[in-house]
């Protein structure tokens, strides 16, 4: 067996929105504010959550930011509540603020822009169509800005099943979706409601990651390792995109899961990672692959 060449995607790892949310939570923890609560997991990565828990950052509530929280100002006078990068609905914001502890919004500014678009158009009487996963916290948060006039679609059948929405319709996307799927669904939605205003709100970090998979293929990668949580939406999408490109895909959460025997058969292996995957996990995987000789 010859040595394996490893090419790491430029965009692999934390997107700036996730990095910013982690920095905000860590800043409070380092100033001695304990506990630093996050409404749901701050980041969809188990290994990173373990690191953060060790630093005094505590996840409360649930994945979708819908559960009532068993925390109060009386027991946690020094506590702070941090909203994660995915964002929350206006109702959830009011609820978290009512807990009486310091409130800090670490919603990714890109997600904030989507929420702003939805809110602005809802106030003008528009119905909002969101392309995304109806169970994803970002989508649940965005729906909260649609003033009860929001619909989530994830495929063509969902568009066909929409009620009559009238002539004031706008469409946005969850920030981590596939661009080509969004464009295809937008065209179909316009077929039903010709006046639809379409806003491509897929974030730059997602587009870079998707483009980097094509770049890894162009650079001669014969297989691609995708590192990230099994329940991280954007990581699962990257793995799917590798398969669409016809390349063998190895989706792992950590380097320990790498099938080194199988990967050793390739001369060139690409490595990428989801927006919630910390650098230490990517470094470790690249190191293990580089040792294959």
Q: Which of 244, 255, 241, 253 is nearest to 277 (CA)?
A: 253
What would the CATH number be for the domain defined by 16-107? 3.40.50.11270
* pTM metric for this prediction: 0.93
**pLDDT at res. 135:** 95
Which of 92, 149, 87, 93 is CA-nearest to residue 118? Answer: 149
User: pLDDT value at position 75?
Assistant: 66
Locate CATH 3.40.50.11270 in the chain. 16-107
What is the fold, at CATH topology level, of the domain defined by 5-13+205-290?
Cobalt-precorrin-4 Transmethylase; domain 1 (3.40.1010)
In the block, residue with structure tokens 């998707």: 210
In tens digits, the chain (293 residues) has pLDDT values of 458 999 999 999 999 999 999 999 999 999 998 899 999 999 889 999 999 999 999 999 898 889 999 887 666 778 999 999 999 999 999 999 999 899 999 999 999 999 999 999 999 999 999 999 999 999 999 999 999 999 999 999 999 999 999 999 999 999 999 999 999 999 999 999 999 999 999 999 999 999 999 999 999 999 999 999 998 889 999 999 999 999 999 999 999 999 999 999 999 999 999 999 999 999 999 999 999 86
Q: Supply the pLDDT for residue 76.
A: 72
pLDDT at site 233? 86
What is the structure's pLDDT at 102?
93
Query: Would you call 55 a catalytic residue per the annotation?
Result: no
Provide the CB-side half-sphere exposure for 67 (13 A, CA).
13
The residue among 137, 110, 102, 111 whose CA lies nearest residue 27 is 102
Instruction: Select from 8, 21, 2 the least CA-distant residue to 221.
Output: 8
Q: What is the pLDDT of residues 166-185, one digit of tens each?
A: 999 999 999 999 999 999 99
Strand, helix or coil for residue 218: helix
Choose the catalytic residue: 102, 138, 156, 164.
Answer: 138
Q: Please, where in the chain does CATH 3.40.1010.20 lie?
A: 5-13+205-290, 110-198
Q: Secondary structure of 30-85 in the HEC alphabet?
A: HCCCCCEEEECCCCCCHHHHHHHHHCCEEEECCCCCCCCCCCCCCCCCCCEEEECC
pLDDT at residue number 70: 83
- List the structure tokens of 111: 């997600």
123-158: burial string, b at 16+ Cβ within 10 Å, e else:
eeebbbbbbbbeebbbbbbbbbbbbebbbbbbeeeb
The yes or no reply on domain 110-198 and CATH 3.40.1010.20 is yes
Strand, helix or coil for residue 8: strand
Is residue 48 classed exposed, middle or buried when 0-12, 13-18 and 19+ CB atoms within 10 A define those classes? Answer: buried
Measure Cα distances from 61 to 40, 92, 115, 172, 190 in Å: 5, 12, 22, 27, 38
């Amino acid at each position: 067996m010859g040595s394996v060449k490893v090419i790491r995607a430029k965009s692999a790892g934390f997107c700036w929105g996730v990095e910013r949310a982690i920095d905000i939570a860590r800043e409070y923890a380092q100033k001695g504010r304990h506990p630093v609560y996050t409404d749901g997991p701050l980041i969809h990565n188990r290994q990173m959550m373990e690191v953060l828990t060790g630093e005094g950052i505590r996840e409360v509530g649930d994945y979708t930011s819908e559960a009532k929280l068993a925390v109060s100002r009386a027991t946690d006078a020094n506590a702070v509540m941090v909203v994660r990068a995915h964002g929350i609905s206006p109702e959830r914001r009011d609820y978290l603020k009512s807990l009486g502890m310091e409130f800090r919004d670490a919603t990714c500014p890109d997600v904030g822009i989507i929420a702003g678009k939805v809110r602005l158009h809802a106030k003008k009487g528009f119905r909002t169509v969101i392309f995304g996963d109806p169970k994803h916290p970002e989508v649940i948060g965005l729906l909260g800005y649609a003033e009860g006039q929001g619909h989530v679609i994830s495929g063509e059948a969902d568009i066909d099943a929409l009620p009559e929405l009238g002539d004031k319709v706008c469409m946005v996307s969850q920030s981590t979706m596939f661009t080509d799927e969004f464009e295809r669904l937008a065209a179909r939605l316009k077929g039903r409601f010709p006046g639809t205003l379409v806003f491509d709100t897929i974030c730059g970090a997602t587009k870079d990651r998707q483009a980097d998979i094509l770049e890894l293929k162009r650079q001669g990668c014969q297989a691609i390792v995708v590192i990230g949580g099994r329940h991280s939406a954007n990581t699962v999408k990257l793995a799917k995109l590798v398969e669409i490109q016809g390349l063998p895909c190895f989706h792992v959460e950590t380097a320990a899961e790498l099938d080194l025997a199988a990967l050793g058969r390739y001369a060139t292996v690409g490595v990428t990672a989801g927006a919630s995957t910390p650098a230490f996990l990517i470094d470790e995987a690249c190191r293990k692959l580089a040792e294959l000789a």
